[in-house]
């Protein structure tokens, strides 16, 4: 009875326009959210190129530095002072700064006599960086005093140089990353008239940090017990910049006579660009939904205004506020639920498209069910429905009181 009285002034064109607007906005919003959730593990993967780029800098070594060090062993080397580091941290374009911790004791490595590379011996150097800067997925990257095993990370470039340079020229077998990790070495550290033996193994290869890495705790302990210096000054620093392509950053580095590898910054630029695109798409989707929501509010207000007289008469006949509001509220619920379900079709097409391309790039960890997107999307729609239902109820209440 009530629906027959109230439905006459409903304009199908307005309902269709609202439906299309909400569906478009919801599809864009959930598409961007789905993409972000799916690629988030790629951002968090330590070995992924999407991580914040490490800008590694060092002081530029001039010919005069080399000559001075040849003439006098006690010549001060171009290392970073505490003042240099503090000044760098204060710069507005710098997000974080970390030091390379060097060893001030002697290190040598040798292979087991019965191992696959028996007879190997070499003097070595170790460095360390804070754990959060390690770009290798190795769960046990730690060392505690009295541990006889010290994990080590080598630059990927070292392995490539051996496989495609030294091994080829010397007719030696090439080594895979997994194979290199199976070989154990003995390392001997010495200093202050003391020696101590440890065992080590390559647990991963870094594509960003070009040095032999061991846990920071081992370097600190070694310097305290064997080193000539307890806290040697760092020769290199890691910078994470707010904008890796910032002209101010390059000017600062040039003005202070520092060196860096500019080719390493390409990934940071790609990451920053992708983050901007995702943010823009999310904003566009949200704006479209808000515009569609505004159109829905205006349409309902116009519909109620056209039915002003009918609503007043129904109130006089004894119909309650709840009974008069219910048809409009049901219409809103049906419209938004149908819109939500319909938007899943283009969303699935979009998701399958980018998922197939990401799998081609080697990323295969995608959920087959969109619960992580459906929940926030449905929650957003529920909030809009509740707001519209409240608006309908208040608008009808005013009409009934005025009548």
Q: What are the pLDDT digits (tens) for 45-81?
A: 544 544 556 788 899 888 888 888 888 877 788 899 9
- With beta carbons less than 8 A apart as the criterion, state whether 311 and 304 touch: yes
* 323-381 pLDDT per residue, tens: 777 877 888 888 878 888 888 888 888 777 777 766 655 555 555 445 666 777 777 77
Q: Which of 70-84, 216-230, 291-305, 310-324 has the highest mean pLDDT?
A: 216-230
The residue among 382 and 244 whose pLDDT is bigger is: 382
- How distant, in Å, are the alpha carbons of 9, 17, 18, 289, 303 from that of 12? 10, 9, 10, 19, 12
Q: What is the DSSP letter of 235?
A: S
Could you report the per-residue pLDDT of 166-199, keeping only the tens digit for each? 788 878 788 888 888 888 889 999 998 899 999 9
Instruction: Give the pLDDT of residue 369.
Output: 47
Whole-number average pLDDT of the chain: 79
Element at 161 (helix H, strand E): helix 156-161
**Percentage above 90 pLDDT, the chain:** 17
DSSP state, 369? S
Residue that wins the pLDDT comparison between 357 and 215:
215
For 100-133, the pLDDT digits (tens) are 999 999 999 887 666 556 567 788 899 999 988 8
Q: Which of 215, 202, 83 is CA-nearest to residue 153?
A: 202
Say how far apart CA 229 and CA 233 lie, in whole Å: 9
Instruction: Please report the DSSP string for 86-127 in residue order.
Output: HHHHTSTTEEEEEEPEEP-SEEEEEE-TTSTTTT-EEEE--E
Question: Residue 79: is it exposed, middle or buried by C-beta count within 10 angstroms (0-12/13-18/19+)?
Answer: middle
343 C-beta neighbours (distance < 10 Å), count? 22
Identify the pLDDT of residue 50. 46
Around Cβ 284, how many Cβ atoms within 10 Å? 15
Share of the chain above pLDDT 70, in %: 79
126-158 pLDDT per residue, tens: 999 998 888 787 778 889 988 999 999 999 888
pLDDT at 40 over 50: yes
The whole-model pTM stands at 0.58
Distance of alpha carbon 270 from the chain centroid: 12
- The predicted pLDDT at position 110 comes to 86
d(CA 39, CA 359): 11
User: What is the SS3 assignment for 206?
Assistant: strand
Quote the pLDDT of residue 298.
74
Q: Looking at residue 71, what is its pLDDT?
A: 84
Place of tokens 């478009």: 24
pLDDT for residue 84: 92
Q: How far apart are CA 362 and CA 177, in angstroms?
A: 18
Q: Classify 261 as helix, strand or coil.
A: coil
Segment 22-30 shows an average pLDDT of 76
């Amino acid at each position: 009875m009530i629906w027959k009285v109230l439905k006459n002034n409903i304009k199908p064109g307005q309902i269709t326009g609202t439906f299309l607007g909400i569906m478009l906005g919801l599809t864009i919003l959930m598409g961007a959210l789905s993409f972000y959730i799916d690629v988030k593990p790629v951002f968090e993967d330590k070995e992924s190129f999407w991580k914040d780029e490490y800008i590694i800098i060092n002081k530029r070594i001039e010919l005069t530095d080399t000559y001075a060090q040849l003439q006098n062993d006690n010549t001060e080397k171009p290392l970073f002072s505490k003042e240099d580091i503090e000044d760098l941290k204060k710069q507005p374009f710098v997000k974080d700064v970390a030091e390379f911790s060097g060893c001030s004791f002697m290190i040598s490595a040798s292979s087991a006599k019965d191992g696959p590379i028996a007879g190997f011996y070499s003097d070595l150097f170790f460095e360390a960086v804070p754990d959060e800067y390690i770009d290798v997925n190795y769960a046990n990257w730690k060392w505690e005093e009295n541990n006889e095993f010290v994990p080590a990370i080598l630059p990927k470039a070292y392995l490539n140089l051996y496989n495609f340079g030294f091994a080829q020229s010397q007719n030696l077998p090439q080594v895979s990353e997994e194979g290199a990790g199976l070989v154990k070495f003995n390392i001997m550290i010495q200093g202050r008239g003391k020696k101590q033996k440890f065992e080590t193994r390559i647990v991963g290869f870094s594509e960003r940090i070009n040095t032999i890495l061991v846990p920071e705790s081992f370097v600190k302990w070694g310097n305290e017990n064997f080193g000539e210096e307890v806290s040697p000054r760092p020769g290199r620093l890691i910078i994470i910049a707010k904008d890796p392509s910032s002209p101010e950053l390059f000017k600062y580095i040039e003005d202070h006579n520092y060196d860096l590898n500019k080719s390493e910054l390409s990934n940071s630029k790609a990451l920053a660009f992708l983050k901007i695109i995702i943010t823009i798409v999310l904003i566009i989707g949200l704006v479209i939904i808000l515009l569609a929501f505004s159109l829905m509010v205006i349409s309902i207000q116009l519909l109620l205004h056209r039915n002003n007289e009918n609503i007043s008469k129904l109130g006089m006949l004894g119909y309650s506020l709840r009974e008069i509001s219910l048809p409009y509220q049901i219409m809103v619920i049906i419209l938004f639920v149908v819109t939500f379900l319909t938007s899943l079709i283009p969303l699935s097409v979009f998701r399958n498209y980018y998922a197939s391309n990401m799998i081609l790039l080697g990323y295969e960890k995608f959920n087959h069910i969109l619960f992580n997107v459906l929940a926030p999307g449905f929650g957003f729609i529920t909030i809009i429905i509740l707001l519209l239902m409240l608006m309908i109820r208040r608008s009808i209440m005013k009409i009934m009181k005025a009548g």
